[in-house]
Structure formats: C-alpha cells, structure tokens
Amino acid sequence: MAAHGEAGLADAAAASVLARPLTPMRRMADALRALAIDAIEAANSGHPGMPIGMADAAAVLWTRFLKFDAADPRWPDRDRFILSAGHGSMLLYGLLHVTGHAGMEASELARFRQLHSAAAGHPEFGAHPAIETTTGPLGQGIATAVGFALAERMLAARFGRSLVDHRTWVIASDGDLMEGISHEAASLAGHLRLARLTVLWDDNAISIDGAIGLANSEDTLKRFSAYGWGVRRVDGHDAAEIAAALSMAMRAKKPTLIACRTIIGLGAPTKAGTAASHGAPLGATEAAAAKAALGWTAPPFTLPEDIAARWREAGARGSAPRRAWLRRLAHHPLRVEFERALAGKPSEAAHEALTALRADLAANRPKLATRQSSQRVLEALVPVVPEMVGGSADLTGSNLTFVKGMGSVAPGAYGGRYIHYGVREHGMAAAMNGMALHGGLIPYSGTFLIFSDYMRPAIRLAALMRQRVIHVLTHDSIGLGEDGPTHQPVEHLASFRAMPNVFVFRPADAMETAECWDLALRRGDGPSLIALSRQATPALREDVGENRCARGGYVLAEAVGPRQTTLIASGTEVAIAMAARAILADEGIAAAVVSLPCWELFAAQDPAWREEVLGGALRVGVEAACGFGWDRWLGPRGVFIGMNGFGASAPAEELYRHFGITPGAIAAAVRRGLGRNNG
C-alpha cells in the first residue's frame, strides 16, 4: 500500500481499497465503521479514525479467531481481547453490540460518552462484563495483556489444558508501541515466549501531531523481532491476508506482532489518512460522505438484516465450546480448587498460617527490618495460598520476596510461582494488573519504594479498576542510608495516599507487618502498597488477638495519667516515638503513642473513635518523609517531625540525627509545644 500521511498518495490508496468488492466480511466491517460514526456524531465527541481503520482486522479476528460466547462474557476459558488503543473505544463497543452482548444495545451506543453509559469515553473495566481492562493511557493495554497471557500459561500449568486453554489478542496503535512501557512489556513477553499473545498493530502511520515520521523512524518489526517475537506485515484492509497472519500466529511458538497497514478514517473524503480523523467527530457532511463512499445506506445505529445475522452468528460461535468446557469442569477433579482460585478467596489455611505466625512473633518479639518480617509472612502464606504469584524487578535479595520452593517462571516453563521481571518496574506493575484481571492469581511484586514512581500509571489503573495487586516496596525512607537521596523516598507516601482507592501500609514491626499483609491479601477490591524498612526495628507488640491494623491506626501505648501529648507515627518511626515517650515520662510528661499504619483504613473509621485515638492533647506527627497531608491528623496546632526535602548519603542512624528525627528531637518539640523549656 502507498505511503501514509501524504494527502495525494493516501487518497489514491483509499480509493483503491474502497473500490474492492463489497464482500460480506467487508460489509460486516463497514457495520462497525458506521456504528462508530453514528455514536461519535451523536456524542459530538470521540475518536472515529481508529475504529474505521481497524474495522476489517477486527471483523476477521472476531468472526474467525477470537474464542468467546456473547451469552457469557465472563466464561473463564474465553480468549481475552484487549483494545490497547483505548481511544478507539467505539470499535470495541461496536463489536460487543453486533455480536449480541446484553448491555450494549443500540440505545447504549447512542449514549456513547454519556454519564453511566457502558460505552464510556475509553473502555472502563466494570462498565460492561466483556470489557477486560481499562485502557486509554497508551501502552498500558499491551503491557496488561502480557499479564493476561502469562496468567493463562501459569494456570494451564496448574489446572491443565482441559480447563485453561485460551489466547490473548491485542489491538495496539502507533502510540501504544511508542510508549516506553511497550518496550518493557514486549521484551518480557518475548523472553518468556508467550506464544498465545498476538498483537495487531494499527500501522496507520498517523498520530495526533501528524505523520508518525515526525517523531519516529525505527523499524518496529525488527524491534519486535529482536525481542523474540514473530512478526508479519499485512494489508489491514485485506481480510484474506489478515486471516492468514492470524492463522500463522495461532501456530507460532513465540508472541506475534502483525503490522496491519491501514488508512485511518478510511472513506472520509477529506480526513481519511490524516490526523484530522483521529480524535474529533467527522461532522455531519463528512460522516454522510464517508458512509456513501463505503456504500453504507442503513439508517443510523442499524444493520441490514443479512449483516446483522452474520454478526449474531459470530457472537454465538463459542456457545458449543463453552458448553463442552462446562461439562469438563463439572467432572474435573480440580473443580473446587479451580473455582476457589477464580473466586479470589484465599483458603482458611492462610488465616491459620498467619495466626500461628503472629503467636510466634508475640512470643519471641524479634527485632527485624520490616522487609524481613514480610519475608517471614510470605514464608507462612505462599505455601498455603497457591494463587499467590511473586516477583521482583531484579531486587529479590533486597525485597525478600522469594520463598523457597516457589520455583521460577522460565521461558516455556510456567509451573513456577516466582517471576523475575527484570529491571522493568512499569511492565511488572502492568503485567500484574493483567494477572489480577485474568483471575485465578494474586500477584505481588517487589522493588524499592522509590521506584514506585516507575510503576505509578499501572498502579493508578489498578486503583481505578479495583484490582488486588500487592506491591512490596522496601527501603522505605532515609533509613536505607548510604545509597543516598536518589534512593530515599520522601514524597512517595504522600503521593500514593493522594491516589484514590490505594491502601498504603507502613507497618511498625513484625506483628504489624503480618497484620498489614493479612489485610492486603483479604482486600479483594484494590491495590495495596506495603512500605517496608531496610533497617531493623524492635518489636512493639505482644498482643495477638485482634488485627489492630485493620482500623488503620490505634493507641499502641496509652499515656500514664491524663494525656499531655499524642505522638503519632508510622513504620520505623513508631519505635522512635516510643523512645520519646520514655524520655517524656522521665520528665513527668504523659505521652501516648499512636501507630498509624494505614491512613485509608483509619480515615474510614467513625470520626468520634478517630478523635478518641488522636486525642485532644498536643499532637506530634513523626514520619521520615515529607509532611504533606499530615495536617489532616495533626490539625492546625499540631507539630510535624520528618523530612523537609531530599535526604542524603550517610549511615542511617547519622541521617536520622542529621534530619532531627530522634527521640530527643521529638521530646524537645513536645516541650516547646507545651511551653515547657525545662529538661
């Protein structure tokens, strides 16, 4: 096909595509084009170019390759379809509509982009059961898809092919493949030989600013080839070529990238082949002309009966395979385990293992870094929770996320439960979202808290989609010492506390670490970040009954006598606050210490109870991080002791002294706050 982006050549290419015979497959694709045009005109908002350009490829995929049954979009052994280029959402909604998915009727398409419509601006997980993941931030979809594909392999290794035997298909755009995360994700998928992953790249050579050549000149196929992918280039408007490439992908021993040469906005007389068709309605005149050029005459939001019937048939293609699968499941020896794993409910054994560990911690009161405590927890949980799948972005020995016996996932061998993600934090977090969304797995990761910045966009999507992913984030403060300010998080706790639906846990000792892990594991509806220390910290608790972290904060040590001050801290600073309490007690100042391991849970408590915990006396917050947000608990008269800027390189104890986060400094702040200058 002709070069892209140059108007004359693009016009000629479009004319030659439009002159091809109107086969049933072409008319089925045109139905998707017309629906996209209609919905976007109705909304007066949206992205017509991509759905129009990729309609042919999508029609071939959905009618001949994708395993699905519109009658049950959550069938566990369905193929997963990920529209990574989420701006082309009308392509997905159109496909769901024509294949007969309940909840995506024409009336819903007519409400495209309106409040509470299942046809939201970008695909939203949860808005419709057939939407596998939220997309829109370019690159996330393809990286999430790697997790879907990996989850399939890992579950197939555990439950066998008769229950788990499906594929992951992605439509990705130029922007998806330019994003850095696509490099991490594709590299990981190639390394792990995820042969059931196929990406159809909408190779239209156009993005928002214009021709791709403005910003990109790499050879994308060579790039994927170098990652270990099979690659193929096809005319994205030629059904036979597309089908041949998809058949090849089905047989491949590697993941496959199919470059589909397409014309963005095909048929639109002035906008086809240009960025003008990317992200704005065509407008009534251009829309009508585009339909005319396609030879499409049906009224808006309708299909000619013969085309509608063909699409409905495609929607029911998976019915017999699904029913056969249900019969296999019914008699399968692992049925109960399989269903429990998919339901995401850790077994009772998890609870028992934690109870035993907590009893041991209460009795022995170990002084450990909380990352070591986390390792103790994992050693208890991982053997009894087979859904837990661990990993680290090349920091296993620091994050302490590996448990003996897990076995590593390796290229072509997916029976292990530990993933060496390599130095790919963003790809790791997105793949974990895919694993969680796939179902049947509870992924946890490891890296340094500082590098959560490299995962943030994926964590944000996990929060938005309410997915249970657990990130073990060690080296959580200046307490990591000598590695210095590049490695010392100061704003990270505050920034993730600002992100809706994320639980940020920062346990104070081994007991709290066990409790926080328990809460993260039980939390079925959102991501948890567990911030853990590099340096050792003493045991502070000997009670074992209730999970005291469950309320987010609690009085760890009450004042002896009426409270004159409340010291409120998290993580390793709780022990420092306890030492300050002892100093103050010697001076006759009655201080309570409140541990605040999870603000989100604390904020959800009854306000009166919270006030009781925090108390009416002088409040002093202590955290080796910046104080942003602490006024929420300290009020206008409170005092914060922590970081005011970046850290420094030195041994940890020296840094705590240098930055004034010591028992002595806390005691001095209390004296000042109480107007006492003695002692």
Ligand X SMILES: Cc1ncc(C[n+]2csc(CCOP(=O)(O)OP(=O)(O)O)c2C)c(N)n1
Q: What is the DSSP letter of 299?
A: P
The residue from 99, 204, 467, 566 that contacts ligand X (CB under 6 A) is 204
Residue the block writes with tokens 């790249």: 201
**Residues of this chain, 266-295, that bind ligand X according to CB under 6 A:** 278
Catalytic residues: 425
The DSSP result for 8-75, as a single string, is HHHHHHHHHHHTS---HHHHHHHHHHHHHHHHHHHHT-S--HHHHHHHHHHHHIIIII----TT-TT-
What is the Cα 187 distance to its own chain's centre?
18
Q: How far is the CB of 269 from ligand X (least distance, A)?
A: 18
When asked if residue 565 is in the footprint of ligand X (CB under 6 A), the reply is no
Dist CA 427 CA 393 (whole Å): 9
What is the Cα 136 distance to its own chain's centre?
13
When asked if residue 385 is in the footprint of ligand X (CB under 6 A), the reply is no
What is the Cα 580 distance to its own chain's centre?
40
Partner touching 40 among ligand X, Mg ion, none, CB below 5 to 8 Å by kind: none
Dist CA 658 CA 646 (whole Å): 12
Q: How far is the CB of 173 from ligand X (least distance, A)?
A: 3
Dist CA 395 CA 114 (whole Å): 45
Partner touching 137 among ligand X, Mg ion, none, CB below 5 to 8 Å by kind: ligand X
Helices (H), 239-334: 239-251, 284-294, 305-316, 319-330
Residue the block writes with tokens 């045109």: 30
Q: Buried b / exposed e across 347-363, counting CB within 10 Å, b at 16+?
A: eeebeebbeebbebbbe
The residue from 133, 144, 168, 207 that contacts ligand X (CB under 6 A) is 207
The residue from 32, 43, 50, 354 that contacts ligand X (CB under 6 A) is 50
What is the CB neighbour count within 10 angstroms for residue 20? Answer: 11
Segment contacting ligand X (CB under 6 A): 65-73, 133-141, 533-541, 669-677? 133-141
Q: How far is the CB of 533 from ligand X (least distance, A)?
A: 33
Closer CB to Mg ion, 264 or 576, in the complex: 264
Partner touching 458 among ligand X, Mg ion, none, CB below 5 to 8 Å by kind: none
When asked if residue 101 is in the footprint of ligand X (CB under 6 A), the reply is no
Segment contacting Mg ion (CB under 5 A): 57-65, 205-213, 232-240, 325-333? 205-213
Token pair, residue 654, equals 């020296």
Segment contacting ligand X (CB under 6 A): 33-41, 171-179, 248-256, 337-345? 171-179
Residue number closest to ligand X, CB atom: 175
Site size for ligand X, by CB under 6 A? 19
When asked if residue 206 is in the footprint of ligand X (CB under 6 A), the reply is yes
The residue from 3, 7, 15, 208 that contacts ligand X (CB under 6 A) is 208
Closer CB to Mg ion, 175 or 315, in the complex: 175
Q: How far is the CB of 475 from ligand X (least distance, A)?
A: 28
Dist CA 599 CA 194 (whole Å): 39
Partner touching 90 among Mg ion, ligand X, none, CB below 5 to 8 Å by kind: none
Q: Are 419 and 408 in contact (CB under 8 A)?
A: yes
When asked if residue 136 is in the footprint of ligand X (CB under 6 A), the reply is yes
When asked if residue 173 is in the footprint of ligand X (CB under 6 A), the reply is yes
When asked if residue 174 is in the footprint of ligand X (CB under 6 A), the reply is yes
Q: Which amino acid makes up residue 49?
A: G
What is the CB neighbour count within 10 angstroms for residue 208? Answer: 10
Closer CB to Mg ion, 173 or 528, in the complex: 173
Q: How far is the CB of 133 from Mg ion (least distance, A)?
A: 20
Closer CB to Mg ion, 204 or 277, in the complex: 204
Secondary structure element (H or E) that encloses residue 484, with its range: none
The DSSP result for 489-502, as a single string, is -SSHHHHHHTSTT-
Q: What is the DSSP letter of 259?
A: E
Largest separation between any pair of C-alpha atoms in the chain: 94
When asked if residue 206 is in the footprint of Mg ion (CB under 5 A), the reply is yes
Interaction mask 165-204, Mg ion, x per CB under 5 A: --------xx-----------------------------x
* Positions in the binding site for ligand X (CB under 6 A): 49-50, 85, 87-88, 136-138, 173-175, 179, 202, 204, 206-208, 264, 278
